Chains A and B, each alone.
Chain A
Amino acid sequence: MTEPPPTDLPTSHWIPRTRDGRVATIAFVLLFLLAMPPVTHGVLNRVDLWLGGIPFLFVALLVVYCALIGVLVWALRRGV
């Protein structure tokens, strides 16, 4: 059977404890959802729309990917 958890263990690591940690996590998750269905297959999937001579889907995802990398770099600089 299970035992009660020891009382002197570290508290949970599932929720960031610092403000910067929360900002980085929320920003990453929200941006990541922009690169996932249904956004990709619904909103971004526009064959008729082009940006700078490149399909909108390709450009939009590139922008999202760069923003995600930006969040990681920001977290690094903030010491998250």
Chain B
Amino acid sequence: MEAWVVATGLIFVYLLATIVLGILANRRTSIDMEDFLLYGRKAGFIVLYLTVVATFHSAFAFLGSGGFFYTHGIGFWAAGTWTVLVGAITYVLGPRIWALGKAFGYMTPADMLADYYESEAVRVAVAVVSVVFTILYIQVQAQGLGYIINVASDGRISFEMGTLILLAVAAAYLMAGGLRAVYWTDVIQGIWMYVAVWVGAMYLAYELFGGPFELWRQVRAQRPDLLSLPGPHGFFTPGMWIGMTITLSFGIVFQPHMMIRYYTAIDARTLKILGATTPIYLMTLYIPAALVGLGGAIAMPGLDIPDRIFPELLFAHAPPILTGVILAGATAAAMSTLDSILHANMTVLTRDVYQRYFAPDATQAHYVAVGRGIVLALLFVGYVLSIRTYDFLVVLVTLSGSGALQLMPAIVGALFPGGRRLTRAGILAGLGTGLFVLYVTLLVVPHPLGTHGGIWSLLANTLVAVAVSAVTAPPSPETQKRIHGEVERQVYGSAS
């Protein structure tokens, strides 16, 4: 049987499995916003673990990381720093966010921040940042999916058709089973992609070099420039190393599809266990990526699009069945992020916009129906964005990785009693400044002084937030006491 038939067939088997899970989830879902949008706040460790790791690692981790090692060398092993930091952030902030969500019924990041800063303007600003900077990830993931299925089918399924099929499947199981369907499919996706990357990388290492140690030896002999910092193109400067560490940890955790997961845990201890153990999965996924990228630089030099190194090596050197399994794993990596972003945008638009400003007193069934309608609209928007290229989208995608990072001062101010008290005016001024500086330092003068634009924007944001907060009114004592008292109870067991 030809390779493309096996590869495409396995991807469709995988898609069928996700639809079946969506249908099963639908049977367990009740017409209730907390159940549909937040898994009823009952997610246990295993489900939460696999959905967090699968969501964190997107098509980029599966394909792009190999491309990064291929182009810039061993410096991408910096990935370990941000994946470990994600664990620490989850350990420290996760239980606090969970406790506030449980106590005050929060469903979105904007719920929490608007309540603490007593401001509808903060709610709108956070909701806008949440949606604008993540809706573009729909485009990124959908394009990745279209590319994967196009490659797997050897061009027989067009990029546009592949994108539409995979977007439609993700939207279908999300509409059927809400977050429960997303979590259940993420369990498969999380396992599948981890096994696929390791098996694929080890197979290629033995097939092409006789093993990973010989692979390393060949890289040292032929491309020693790939084994030192800052790499052959000088990319991994100290400033970029630090910038990527901050941006790809805090910047991703503060995106709504990750923060909402903290609300869904069954208890705070589950989140602490999650924080301590997720880096094991997240970090070790980059070990096979290093083998693929660095080995690929020796075995298949000169690729026009380095991100294609993994599938190109598989089609050239692996048996069709293995190639199919691994490309289905790549599909899983992209879909597990895509469905989570669709869900987060649905939740933010339903909760922070529709329920708040258009129909505050409707029934639970009404909001669930509206949420499903929003998924359909997002499906349409995501598809159009994926198959068309607009200049302003290129700009926004460049900014999107660091966009959610601008919520950091607001989130830290709400979750950490003590220190300088930030105010609503300070938060809004800092957010506006941070986004402006982000635009300048990523697009006008990219990464000044070799330091990632995300760092410059966060510095400017924080300085302005603190300065403006020094001369404006903080949240009322009652609100500070209510929210920080709940944090105190969660962390230390009693309100002081």
Contacts and interface: CB of A to CB of B under 8 A. Distances in A.
Contacts of B279: 65, 68-69, 72
B216 A69 contact: no
A64 B481 CA distance: 39
Contacts, number: 139
Most chain B CB within 10 A, of A2, A11, A41, A55, is at A55
B418 A10 contact: yes
A58 B226 CA distance: 12
Contacts of B277: 69, 72-73
Contact of A58 (B217, B290, B417): B290
Contact of B417 (A10, A32, A69): A10
Interface residues of B, number: 56
A54 interface: yes
Contacts of B290: 58
A53 B212 CA distance: 9
B280 A69 contact: yes
B81 interface: yes
Contacts of B80: 35, 61-62, 64-65
Interface stretch (B3-11, B237-245, B370-378): B237-245
Contacts of A58: 74, 77, 290
Contact of B228 (A6, A32, A45, A72): A45
Given A12-B417, A68-B279, A54 B88 contact: no
B478 to A, nearest CB: 9
Contact of A36 (B81, B224, B418, B487): B81
B58 to A, nearest CB: 21
A72 B474 contact: no
A13 B229 contact: no
A18 B213 CA distance: 45
Contact of B84 (A2, A14, A57, A68): A68
Interface residues of A, number: 39
Contacts of B417: 9-13
Contacts of B84: 32, 35, 65, 68-69
Nearest to B417: A10
B229 A14 contact: no
Interface string A37-77: 11011000101001001110110011011001100110110
Interface in B275-312: 275-277, 279-280, 283, 287, 290
Interface in B417-464: 417-419, 421
Contacts of A41: 229-230, 238, 241
A54 B290 CA distance: 12
Nearest to B492: A17
A14 B484 CA distance: 13
B186 interface: no
Given A11-B417, A41-B229, A65-B80, A53 B217 contact: yes
B485 interface: yes
B491 A75 contact: no
B227 A57 contact: yes
B416 interface: yes
B480 interface: yes
B227 A37 contact: no
B226 to A, nearest CB: 10
Interface string A1-28: 1110110111111100100000000001
Contacts of A28: 88
Interface in B329-356: none
Contacts of B384: none
Interface stretch (B46-54, B165-173, B465-473): B465-473
B273 interface: yes
Contacts of B416: 12-14
A2 B227 contact: no
B496 A37 contact: no
Contact of A53 (B77, B216, B480, B492): B216
A69 B279 CA distance: 7
Contacts of A35: 80-81, 84
Interface string B233-276: 00000100110010000000000000000000000000011011
B481 A8 contact: yes
B42 interface: no
Interface of A: 1-3, 5-6, 8-14, 17, 28, 32, 35-38, 40-41, 45, 47, 50, 53-55, 57-58, 61-62, 64-65, 68-69, 72-73, 75-76
Q: Which 10 A-B pairs have the closest CB atoms?
A: A12-B418, A37-B238, A6-B477, A10-B488, A72-B276, A53-B213, A65-B80, A10-B417, A76-B276, A68-B84
11 contacts: A2-B469, A6-B481, A12-B416, A13-B417, A35-B84, A37-B238, A41-B229, A45-B229, A55-B216, A65-B84, A76-B275
